[in-house]
Amino acid sequence: MKALQYVKLGVPPELVEIPTPTPSPGQVRLKVAAAGACHSDVFLMGLPEEAYSFGLPLTLGHEGVGVVDAVGDGVDRSLLGEHVAVYGPWGCGRCPRCASGAENYCARATSLGIAPPGLGAPGAMAEHLIVDSPRHLIPLEGLDPVAAVGLTDAGLTPYHAIKGSVDVLTPGAVAVVIGAGGLGHVAIQILRALTATTVVAVDLDPSKLAHAIEVGAHHALAPGDEAVTTVRELSRGLGAAAVFDIVAVQETLRLGKAMVMSTGHQVLVGVGRGSLDVGLLAGPYEWQVRSPYWGSLPELYEILAMARAGAVHVTTEVFSLDDAPEAYERLHAGTLRGRAIVVP
Ligand code: NAD
Ligand code: ZN
Ligand code: ZN
């Protein structure tokens, strides 16, 4: 089968021909219908050798949907033919975190060598994908594969981040989303659907700001001191109840901290490697800083249900598997609108 693999450190991913995998006992194989490209893939392909831990060659793609086309021994054969979305942050399934559905925080995944597809295990940018357990498959129930696939990360991650802050997102409060790309444009829609806040998008790129308004942001601002002033004005001097920083470099952390109100939340979603001083005198009183990773299994059901209800919609640009390297070039260059989706 064809697969898009990261083969050599520092060299762009390439399309290769590899044997079609067969599912081992307990596993499920999908015929991939769609796979999403995430900025985290760009991040990992930029890591130097000493920091890179995902294995080579690595088939990319941690967002995947498809049809079950083979099952290993011990797996219910009635799954064959089912259209499913893949829950990516695989855990052991047996620790207290996994039992609660929060496999993204499995206590044992690292020690057992369990890694998500596309982030250690072979990913979804291929004609077929092996999923380690049917537990990680969620029925699409009528959702279109291209429209749905981005929800498994670009939807699930902001959904989890926002759910953790709903208590402070009271009607009339201001919510800020920094970085209105793949994750950010979905974050805006989730905020509009779950809260009655004033939603402010911040991005360096004017085209991303225009898109943010199209998907429901009330205001769209370039980063800088003026944006801080505007957020203060919109919140009658209070500041933002929550800032979702989907970039999280040093400048955006500084910006978010200048915007957030006392008792507000500064939520670091991006992997920009910025860092913050925290402490009683380091920022607004009782401000909370969180760094959420992906989301839980129940939350994936919830974000898929939001899409079925028409409350969120991922803007997509579609590429063939042959053109998948171009999808990553565009993601790297920042010229995509929404999410790049690869359809094998
Ligand atoms: P993307 O490239 O689609 O979007 C990033 C957006 O940020 C773009 O619109 C870009 O113009 C904007 N931006 C970049 N630098 C900026 C700055 N200094 N100020 C304001 N805006 C700026 O990326 P994506 O796929 O949406 O991923 C976003 C981030 O989230 C990445 O860092 C990614 O690795 C991370 N991520 C984290 C998790 C998690 O579990 N925490 C999950 C998925 C992605
Ligand atoms: Zn991702
Ligand atoms: Zn576990």
The size of the chain, in residues, is 344
| Per-residue model confidence as pLDDT tens digits over 177-223 | 999 999 999 999 999 999 999 999 999 999 999 999 999 999 999 99
By the CB criterion, residues less than 5 angstroms from ion ligand 3 are 91-92, 95, 98, 106, 108
The runs of H, that is alpha helices, within 56-136 are 96-99, 109-112
Give the per-residue pLDDT at 185.
Answer: 98
- Closest by Cα among 57, 52, 55 to 18: 57
**For residue 54, which amino acid is it?**
F
Q: For the full predicted model, state whether its pTM sits above 0.85.
A: yes
Q: Ligand 1 centre from 212 Cα, in Å?
A: 14
Q: How many CB atoms lie within 10 A of CB 151?
A: 27
What are the structural domains of the chain?
Answer: 2-153+295-343 (3.90.180.10), 156-290 (3.40.50.720)
- Residue 230, φ and ψ in degrees, nearest 5: -65, -45
DSSP characters over 127-175: SEEEES-GGGEEE-TT--HHHHHGGGTTTHHHHHHHHTTTTT--TT-EE
- Closest by Cα among 236, 3, 221, 215 to 127: 3
Left (φ > 0), alpha (ψ -120 to 50) or beta: where does 224 sit? left
C-alpha 163/C-alpha 169 separation (Å) is 10
| Per-residue model confidence as pLDDT tens digits over 136-172 | 999 999 999 999 999 999 999 999 999 999 999 999 9
Residue 179 Cβ inside 6 Å of ligand 1? The answer reads yes
Which of 47, 271, 273, 337 gets mutated to test ligand 1 (max ligand atoms within 8 A of its CB)? 271
Counting atoms of ligand 1 from 1, which one is nearest the CA of 272? 32
The CB-side HSE value for 220 (13 A sphere, CA atoms) comes to 21
- Closest by Cα among 92, 38, 93, 88 to 65: 88
Residue 316 Cβ inside 6 Å of ligand 1? The answer reads no
| Per-residue model confidence as pLDDT tens digits over 109-121 | 999 999 999 999 9
| Per-residue model confidence as pLDDT tens digits over 244-291 | 999 999 999 999 999 999 999 999 999 999 999 999 999 999 999 999
- The mean of the pLDDT values for the chain is 98
By the CB criterion, residues less than 5 angstroms from ion ligand 2 are 38, 40, 153
Residue 42 Cβ inside 6 Å of ligand 1? The answer reads no
Which of 90, 188, 209, 247 gets mutated to test ligand 1 (max ligand atoms within 8 A of its CB)? 247
Tell me whether strands 14-17 and 2-6 are parallel, antiparallel or unpaired. Answer: antiparallel
Ligand index nearest the alpha carbon of residue 211: 1
DSSP characters over 252-266: HHHHHHHHEEEEEEE
